[in-house]
Amino acid sequence: MLANFLIGLREGLEASLVVGILVAYLVRTGRRDKLSAVWAGVGVAVAMSLLVGAALTFTSARMSFRAQEAFGGTLSIVAVAFVTWMIFWMRRAARSMKGELHDKVDKALAMGTGALVTTAFIAVAREGLETALFVWTAVQATNQGPRPLVGVVLGLGLAVALGWLLYRRAVQINLAKFFTWTGAGLVVVAAGVLAYGVHDLQEAGILPGLNSLAFDVSHIISSSSVIGALLKGIFNFSPQTTWLEAAVWTAYVVPVMTFFLRNQGAPAAPKAVPATVGAPSATVQPQATRTSAPAA
């Protein structure tokens, strides 16, 4: 539940920041009449993300056991690749995100309402699809019933609330630290999903080594115990871990975490200031863009 809460919170806040920038720009430039187009694009993106999640669930339910394992394992690896790319893409694009979005809105306004709907849709759909895919694989990996879904719903709800408060300038968040800590947390979560995906492929007979265990602590930590459930839900820890799972987990966490944190020790920039769109003259403060990882 906690891991999925983190996914929902981070991805949801990224999408909220993107929407806030789009809305703020339209308000500042006196184009409030085009706000409905932004919300239409956001609505379509959210609906498509939900449909993708439903399609994944329906498709896997109709497969044989080995096909389910192969399907789930493959999608787990794909989801980890997307999330890893997203984490590093945000850090690279932090300084230019606001300007790029403004430029896209200007071009969309010149082309018409349909282009603005498409711009908002693309800006949010990427986050939504990544969330749908990663949450689906995480839910399959934890196998804890509805609790992972409750976690992601709570995370998304808090993200929307924080996005609105930032929009109204009711709160201030150091977005640089927020995205650094949540990014590091997602690296660990993604490593667990990757290891689980490898285990699925082993059960499907695609990868070898299913019975070659690196360790077996099931007599100490039962998967049905409270501690076992917590470790499974947060780190995707398995009391019976194969050598290949352990090798893949380590081979992912060590280099990815190292590269992710490598430039985080640079001197701190000015504290992030939230976006404000309470009046047509309001604008998104440049400091927020410079000091924080952007919404993708």
Note whether residue 278 is domain-resident. Answer: yes
Return the pLDDT at 269: 43
Domain coverage including residue 240: 2-291
Alpha helices, H only, 94-146: 97-111, 113-142
The residue-averaged pLDDT of 127-140 equals: 79
Higher pLDDT, 21 or 244: 244
pLDDT at 170 over 80: no
> Comparing 37-41, 57-61, 208-212, 286-290, which segment has the lowest mean pLDDT?
286-290
**97, 20, 39: which is closest to 275 by C-alpha?**
20
- Cα–Cα distance, 44 to 37 (Å, whole number): 11
pLDDT of 18 > 70? The answer is: yes
Q: Which residue has the higher pLDDT, 55 or 6?
A: 55
Q: What is the pLDDT of residue 242?
A: 93
* pLDDT number for residue 246: 93
Tokens read off for 98: 């606001």
- Give 65-117 pLDDT, tens digit per residue: 889 889 989 988 998 998 888 788 776 665 566 676 778 788 877 877 788 88
**Residues constituting the chain:** 296
Neighbour count for residue 125 (Cβ, 10 Å): 21
Q: Specify the pairing of strand 213-216 against strand 240-242.
A: antiparallel
Q: What is the mean pLDDT of residues 162-177?
A: 77
In this structure, how many other beta carbons lie within 10 angstroms of the beta carbon of residue 52?
17
pTM above 0.85, yes or no: no
Q: How many domains does the chain have?
A: 1
Q: How far apart are CA 150 and CA 14, in angstroms?
A: 20
Concatenating the DSSP letter of every residue in 260-295 gives HHHTTTSPPPSPP---B-SSTT----HHHHHHSPPP
Give the span between the Cα atoms of 99 and 90, in whole angstroms: 14
What pLDDT, on the 0 to 100 scale, is given for residue 275?
A: 43
In order of 47, 73, 175, the CA distances from 140 in angstroms are 21, 10, 30
Return the pLDDT at 130: 79
> Of 26-40, 133-147, 164-178, 273-287, which gets the smallest average pLDDT?
273-287
For residue 272, the model assigns a pLDDT of 44
State the distance between the two ends of the chain, measured CA to CA, in whole angstroms.
Answer: 24
Across the chain, mean pLDDT equals 78
**What would the pLDDT profile of 234-292 be if each residue is shown by its tens digit?**
677 888 899 999 999 999 999 999 998 886 654 444 444 444 444 344 334 433 443 34
149 belongs to a structural domain = yes
Q: What is the pLDDT of residue 143?
A: 63
Query: Is pLDDT at 50 greater than 90 in this prediction?
Result: no
Whether 296 is in a domain gets the answer no
Tell me if 130 is assigned to some domain: yes
For the chain, what percent of residues have pLDDT higher than 90? Answer: 16
Asked if 262 and 255 count as a contact pair (C-beta separation under 8 A), the reply is no
Q: Range with the lowest mean pLDDT among 13-22, 81-90, 95-104, 217-226? A: 95-104
Show the tokens assigned to 195.
Answer: 């290891």
Higher pLDDT, 3 or 70: 70
Instruction: Identify the pLDDT of residue 97.
Output: 62
Strand partners, 242: 213
Summarize the chain as % helix, strand, coil (round to 5).
75, 5, 25
Bridge partners, residue 216, by sequence: 240
Looking at residue 205, its pLDDT comes to: 92
In angstroms, the CA 197 to CA 245 distance is 9
Compute how many other C-beta atoms are within 10 angstroms of the C-beta atom of residue 241.
17
Mean pLDDT over 55-61 rounds to: 83
Residue at 246: amino acid letter: A
pLDDT value of residue 234:
67
